Structure formats: C-alpha cells, structure tokens
Structure 1
Amino acid sequence: MGEPFRVGLTRDFLNAEGRIGWGDIGLAALDEAEGVEWDFLPDAGTGEIPPGAVAGYDALLVLLPRVTAETLRGADRLRLVARFGVGYDNVDVAACTEAGVVVTITPDGVRGPVAVSALTMLLAVAHKVRQKDALVRTGRWHDKLDHMGVGPAGKTLGLVGWGNIGREVTRLCAPLGMRQLAADPYADAAAATAAGVGLVDLDTLLAESDFVVVTCALTPETHHLLDAVRIARMKPAAYLVNVARGPIVDQKALTAALAERAIAGAALDVFETEPPDPADPLLALDNVLLAPHAIAWTDELALGNGRSAIAAVLDVAAGRAPAHPVNPAALDHPRFRSMRKAAH
C-alpha cells in the first residue's frame, strides 16, 4: 500500500475550545476516503504559513492564512491549495502555478449564502434596522417617525459585477419588483436580457440606482473602482452595499460621502483593512451598517464551501483535475501531471 495522501487544514478553522467553529464542513468525506489522512497545520494566525509547515502535505485546505512563495519552499509534495471561499487574495497564485500547485475556490458553496447576505444587508439598511433597534434600547420608541425606511418595490438595483453571486442576487430580488441594472464587461448579454437585467456602464448604473450592490472580484482593475468621483455620481437617497472585497471601494471617500450625507447610507461586510482600526471615523457614523466579513457565515455556507473544497482534495487524491481552478495552467505542469499518473 502506498503512502497516504496527506491534507493539512489551517488552524483558524478552530475556535477557542479547539472545535471547528464553522460546524459541519463535510470532513466526514475525508475520514471515509481510503488512503487519505488529514490534520491541522501549526497556527499561523492570519499571517503567512511559514516554510516547512506544509512539508509532507499533498493538499491544503485554507481559510485566512497566506500562502506565499516562501510557504512553498521545500513543499515538494504539495499539489493543491483548496481555498475555503471564492476570494484568493491570500494566495500567491503565480508562485503556485510555477510550482505546479493548483489553486481552487468554492463558487458553488458561496453563491446562495453570499447573495442572501447581500439582500439581508440591503433590506436591513433600507429599513433602518440598526436605528430602530437603538430606539427600543434607548427608550426613544416614539421617535420612530424620524426613521422612515425605503421599500424596494419600484426602485432600481444596480449590481457592480454580474457573475456567480450577482446573478443569484438578481434571482433572489426578482419578486421584489425592482428594476435591475448591472455593470460588468464580462457579463453574458443574452443571459442578462433573459433575466431582465439591463447591462449599462458603471457611471450610468451609479447615477440611476437606488441600491448599489458590489459583487465583483477584487483585481488590479477593480481596486478603488468606486472612488470619490464615482461615489459622487450616486443619488443622494441611494445606498451602497459591499459584500465583495473592501478595496473595491475607496473607504476614505465613502466615509466622507456618508458623513456629509451625500448618499443615504451604506452596509459593509468588508473593509480596506480588516479588522478596521477602532478609531476609524467610519465606525462612528450612524448611517452605515457594519459586519465583520462574516454576514454570510451560516451553516449553509460552511457545509457548501467545505464540500466543494473537499471534493477538490479528493479529485486530486484520485488523480483527477479538480473543479474551479483559478490557475488551470498548473494542471499541465510536469509535477502535477506526474502526480496524476502516479495516482492512476
């Protein structure tokens, strides 16, 4: 019998009591797989996984720690980094490709939960849930006429990005009676038409939308895509919701717009720096709803992401190409191809 296929999980899956804080992430599939063993890497916090920590592992299941070129030094067996989620800014993809390490993500796991979280934040900020909760807690029940919300019917929803999650937001919002726009140069025009979504340029979307929801990926092209100039194009009564990545929005510009009431409000699950500085002026504003990059963290997300990532692990263990690679060129690397031949 050959050497087992070894899988290392980053230790930030564990809570303070040493249990998986996410609940069920589908680890039973690893336990039941023949010839597969798994355990936890040394604690790296959310920093770089140090060189040597992954020596002897064939695959990694990664939450927040960074996988760098230095991490890969001496990791001769490593062939897969399975990211638990769809963001991979904590992984040096170019270094992985050069080393013959495939990087995968879990779009099927996040699609529904993140879209639901976008709708949750949109409705919560529009209905002024935070302010109305405070009225009850501070004995200001009769001030509720000062905090009228905004209903979605007849309003315009603008999606910045109409990919995996944006399309699901469209589906969820269809019964709400909203006009829907999307700005995405890569969107399928026929699919958008079939879904009742108007594809427009970003400036048009910002000028016409009552709710702007950011669902695009963070890339060099989308860094500070919503800067001061673009935020100024939004309606004074509009709301901005970001469930994608913080640096897509110029946070200082957004803070200024919120403080000046240039827009009605915002709901943010993500920030330019995470966690934000407790002294950040954004945190003192009363027209912004905040969450710690966890609004979509539910049992559904945990199991969906886990099953998707573990399916990639088991595919590679069996010598198959995994689904959802972000660097498909690594599949043709001699080291990855030799591992697949050995598995067969």
Structure 2
Amino acid sequence: YPDFDLEALNQDSGLSWNYMDLGEVVQGEDLEGYDALVLLLPRFSAESVSTDRRLSLVARFGVGYDTVDQQVCTENGIVLTNTPDAVRRPVAVSIMTLMMALTGKIFIKDRITRGGDQTWSQRSGQMGVGLVGKTLGSLGFGGIAGEMFRMASVYDMRHIAHDPFRNPEMNQDLEVEMVELEQLFSESDILCINCDLNTETEKIVDSRLLSLMKPTAFLINTARGPIVNQKDLTEFLQQGKIAGAGLDVLEKEPPDLDDPILALENVILAP
C-alpha cells in the first residue's frame, strides 16, 4: 500500500519497524521480538501469539474485529485497537461507485458495446435508473454510513437507516430517518450494508428480509460477506426478485470458481 503515510514511524528514532508478509493466518514464531502488530487482512488467532509473549498490541487497520480472536488477545494481555476513521471515506466511495454502476447499468452497457452489431440493438432496454426521489437505505448508522449519506446528499434522495445500537452523538448533521428493520428493506431502492459482523448480524440478510425488497431494488454490501446469506441472495438474483447487487465481500473469499453468483450479469463483484 504505497499511499500509506509511514513518515511518523520513520521519524521516531526510538522505533524500528518492518513489513512482513504474514499469509492468511499470523504465525506466532514470526512475531517473536515484536511489541506491536499493525494488521489489515491476515487473521490473528491462538496460533498467532508469539512464544516470547512480548507482543502487547494488535492495531487493526480497519473497522471490524472479526479477523482477530478477541478472547485470545484478552487471555494474553494484548491490547486490540482499530481505526474507524481511516476507512470511512474509501468505503463510502466504494459504495457510491457500486451504486452508480448498478443503477446506470454500466457493466451491462460495456458488454453491449463490446458485442458490436450483435448486441447493439439491446442498448435502448438498458438505459439505467435515475436517483432523484429514490430511497437510499443503510443497515447500520455509524461512521461509514454517515459518510455515505453525506456524499449522496447531492442526488436528492430520501435517506433512511436502521441501527438499534446507534450512537446518538454521531451523524448529528444528517437528516436520516431511522426506521424499523422490515421498513428499511421494503422501502429502500438502494440498500447498503454498513454494520459490523457479529453473532447477531451473521446471515441477518436472508430470504425473509430479501423478500421484502422491491423487484427494482439493489443491494450493496461493502461490510462483511457473512452478514448476507449468499445462497438466498443468489436465488433472489437468479429469479429477478431484486434488480441487482454490488458486492466487494463474499461469504467465502476467494470464491469457488463454480460459485453461481459469479455467473450472474446483474451482480458487480470486487475483491
């Protein structure tokens, strides 16, 4: 990540650091002699604890803690932190990008154009959907959702959200209507997943909630893949019960090559 500013680390004469390729799961022997670990993608589990017990801090670059075993950290006296402010704008930008690509049918138009005269006649049926007057919904109303709504304010959309754990001190500058979970799914034209992954939210977006969505609605998930029951979502997309989805997270990453969601034209995927 060449854009990361590491100057503060370089200027501290009492600090030495280096980059490590830790693989999928951090191994404890790789952390011997280290006091702290800044972690992005690899998982931290019981086998990640250094044998010399020197490690005292795991600082996760991101919002959630789902890639770190919190109990392991507690048992070994390791402080665990995250950086919610660091990813608010980038994730919100990803949401807006997926929203514009889905409603504008950009990928479908791209395929029509590349097909030349064999597909050119299809262009009039893929004009896309305007955003003015549409309802933008969010499951979760934290920092990323707030940034998303601020960026979307120029489109004259109605904004709604559901979050039983919302912090009333956050997003006070926004005019977002808080609604019940079922109302969120039934009224949103673009529904974005912006909540943490935990035992209460795992697979919370299932066939029951998806059945409440409009057939013209789009689902966007940039949070965590397991929040959505991917089998249910795939079936709804295959049957045209919702218009499309934008996903930069999946239940299994990387996905199996025969995963049926990879074959759907009404889905935009990103790693």
Bin for the TM-score computed over the shorter chain: over 0.9
User: Is the Cα–Cα contact under 8 Å of residues 192 and 198 in structure 1 kept in the other structure?
Assistant: no
Residues 1:194 and 1:110: Cα distance change in structure 2 (over 3 Å):
closer
Counterpart CA distance in 2 for 1:99 and 1:262 is 48
User: Is the Cα–Cα contact under 8 Å of residues 28 and 51 in structure 2 kept in the other structure?
Assistant: yes
What is aligned with 1:204?
Answer: 183
Measured after TM superposition, the shift of residue 65 of structure 1 is 1.7
User: Is the Cα–Cα contact under 8 Å of residues 85 and 107 in structure 1 kept in the other structure?
Assistant: yes
Counterpart CA distance in 1 for 2:85 and 2:169 is 22
2:220 is the alignment partner of 1:227: no
What is aligned with 2:228?
Answer: 249
Matches within 5 A, 1:237-276: 237-276=216-255
User: Is the Cα–Cα contact under 8 Å of residues 57 and 75 in structure 1 kept in the other structure?
Assistant: no
How many aligned residue pairs are there? 269
Q: TM-score, normalised by structure 2?
A: 0.95
Q: TM-score, normalised by structure 1?
A: 0.75
2:53 is the alignment partner of 1:71: no
Question: Alignment partner of 1:35: what SS?
Answer: coil
Measured after TM superposition, the shift of residue 189 of structure 1 is 5.3
2:132 is the alignment partner of 1:153: yes
What is aligned with 1:305?
Answer: none
What is aligned with 1:104?
Answer: 81
* Structure 2: tracts of 5 or more residues without a match: none
- Percent of paired sites with the same residue: 47
User: Is the Cα–Cα contact under 8 Å of residues 142 and 170 in structure 2 kept in the other structure?
Assistant: no
Counterpart CA distance in 2 for 1:271 and 1:255 is 11
Matches within 5 A, 1:153-232: 153-188=132-167, 195-232=174-211
Q: Please tell me the residue identity of whatever aligns with 2:5.
A: G
Counterpart CA distance in 2 for 1:32 and 1:222 is 42
Counterpart CA distance in 1 for 2:202 and 2:161 is 18
Q: Please tell me the residue identity of whatever aligns with 2:204.
A: L
Question: Alignment partner of 2:28: what SS?
Answer: coil
Measured after TM superposition, the shift of residue 190 of structure 1 is 7.6
Match of 1:288 among 261, 267, 271: 267
What is aligned with 2:61?
Answer: 84
Q: Give deviations 1:182-241, integer Å, cap 9, x for gaps.
A: 010022458667521110111011011111011111111000110111111101110000
Counterpart CA distance in 2 for 1:235 and 1:270 is 22
Structure number with greater CO (CA < 8 Å, separation at least 6) is 1
Counterpart CA distance in 1 for 2:198 and 2:58 is 20
Residues 1:108 and 1:190: Cα distance change in structure 2 (over 3 Å):
closer
* Structure 1: tracts of 5 or more residues without a match: 1-21, 293-344
Question: Highest Rg: 1 or 2?
Answer: 1
- State the 4+ residue runs in structure 1 displaced beyond 4 angstroms: 188-194
What is aligned with 2:6?
Answer: 27
